[in-house]
Amino acid sequence: MKQISILSGKGGVGKSSIVASLGILLAKKYKIVLADCDVDAPNLGLIFGIEEKDFFEWENISTNEKAVFDLKKCIACKKCFDICYFKAIDWINNKPKLKEFGCEGCGACEIVCPVGAIKLKKINNAKIGYAKTKYGFKLVSSQLNIGESGSGKLVNKVKEKAKSIFVDADIMLVDSAAGIGCPVIASVSGSDYAVLVVEPTPASLFDMKRAMSVVEHFDINKGIIINKFDINKKYCKEIEGFAQTQKIKIIGKLPYDKNFVKALVEMKPVIEIDENIRDLFDGVVGEIVKTC
Ligand code: SF4
Ligand code: SF4
């Protein structure tokens, strides 16, 4: 199974819309499965008109541990309170109390407690499930509980689930998180090809360069899609110049088009409502398949 990851660095540049349209076109020739690895803001399903109720078998999972205190053993030495880098422990009535949010499960408090009053315990802090799109392929998504950590681990679980529900798939298409943190590294890891989506703005180019450093770390083949290339032709040229210097192919240039917004409002992939944009995406798919 080949893995193609779509990432952008900056959020809000149209990455998930692009993933949805690429998925439909790739599915015409290949057996594919989609992995929504933007685990802090998973909305790929909505682009296909899929809501939470449409998912099968939501499974509770754990991506983290938390400190649990046995206050009967506690001798109020305050060592746990002092050691906690994340300030996740309150000190109330001369006893430690874990705050609702903040415990990263690092285990420092467990180590320093002289009487063994603290144990790390796994917590169910996320859920993972899959849905079938009307195009025949499946989409795996997840939800991390608010304030919880472990998004990188959750990305790995989403990818594992995608592989397990469709072991015969030719391609797993990964919608990566924005940024360059743990979930992005987990998304990109194991990829055969990476698509970097950028808009012609300084912020988007800056963030895409940072995301590209993650891709280069893994030595993955890559291409660039410039979305809304015509909103700033000067900056578009700057991106093209950058790509030329770095020897990265621009595999697609998509115009600013109100149909992208219309598609989001109607919960449809944009190629469903605009033939011209479909043709542009056909070209992008051709470039990806050639290189991947
Ligand atoms: S496990 Fe780490 S983050 Fe959580 S309370 Fe203990 S020291 Fe703080
Ligand atoms: S380190 Fe252990 S004994 Fe000391 S305050 Fe914390 S829980 Fe109590």
The mean pLDDT of 64-73, rounded to a whole number, is 95
Q: How far is the CA of 112 from the centre of ligand 2 (A)?
A: 8
What is the tens place of the pLDDT at every residue in 148-199? Answer: 888 899 999 999 999 998 889 999 999 998 888 899 999 999 999 999 999 9
Ligand 2 atom nearest the C-alpha of 81 is: 6
CA of 120 to the centre of ligand 2 (A): 14
Is 188 touching ligand 2 by the criterion CB < 6 Å? no
Q: Name the residue of 74, 84, 90 whose CB sits within 8 Å of the most ligand 2 atoms, as the mutation to test its pocket.
A: 74
Ligand 1 pocket test: which of 66, 81, 104, 122 has the largest number of ligand atoms within 8 Å of its C-beta?
A: 104
* Residues flanking ligand 1, CB < 6 Å: 67, 83-84, 86, 88-89, 103-109
CA distances from 178 to 44, 90, 96, 213, 266 (A): 13, 33, 36, 14, 24
Q: Which ligand is nearest to the CA of 107?
A: 1
Q: Is the pTM of this model over 0.85?
A: yes
Nearest CA residue ID for atom 6, ligand 2: 80
CB 199: neighbour CB atoms within 10 A?
26
Q: Is 179 in the pocket of ligand 2 (CB under 6 A)?
A: no
CA angle 62, 63, 65 (to 5 degrees): 85
Contacts 24+ apart (CB under 8 A), 101-105: 101/147, 103/66, 103/67, 104/64, 104/149, 105/64, 105/65, 105/66, 105/67, 105/149
User: In this predicted model, what pLDDT tens digit does every residue of 114-128 receive, in sequence order?
Assistant: 999 999 999 999 999
SS (H, E, C) the chain: CEEEEEECCCCCCCHHHHHHHHHHHHCCCCCEEEEECCCCCCCHHHHCCCCHHHCEEEEEECCEEEEEECCCCCCCCCHHHHHCCCCCEEEECCEEEECCCCCCCCCHHHHHCCCCCEEEEEECCEEEEEEECCCCCEEEEEEECCCCCCHHHHHHHHHHHHHHHCCCCCEEEEECCCCCCHHHHHHHCCCCEEEEEECCCHHHHHHHHHHHHHHHHCCCEEEEEEECHHHCHHHHHHHHHHHHHHCCEEEEEECCCHHHHHHHHCCCCHHHCCHHHHHHHHHHHHHHHHHC
pLDDT tens per residue across span 195-245: 999 999 999 999 999 999 999 999 999 999 999 999 999 999 999 999 999
Residues pairing with 195 in the sheet = 6, 223
Q: Whose CA is nearest to atom 8 of ligand 2?
A: 74
CA 66 / ligand 2 centre spacing (Å): 15
Q: What is the pLDDT of residue 54?
A: 86
Give the CA distances from residue 9 to residues 15, 196, 208, 258, 287, in Å, rounded to whole numbers and listed in that order: 10, 8, 5, 23, 21
Ligand at shortest distance from the CA of 86:
1
Domains of the chain: 2-61+127-291 (3.40.50.300), 64-123 (3.30.70.20)
Calculate the average pLDDT of the chain. 93
* Closest residue to atom 8 of ligand 1, CA basis: 84
pLDDT tens per residue across span 81-116: 999 999 999 999 999 999 988 899 999 999 999 999
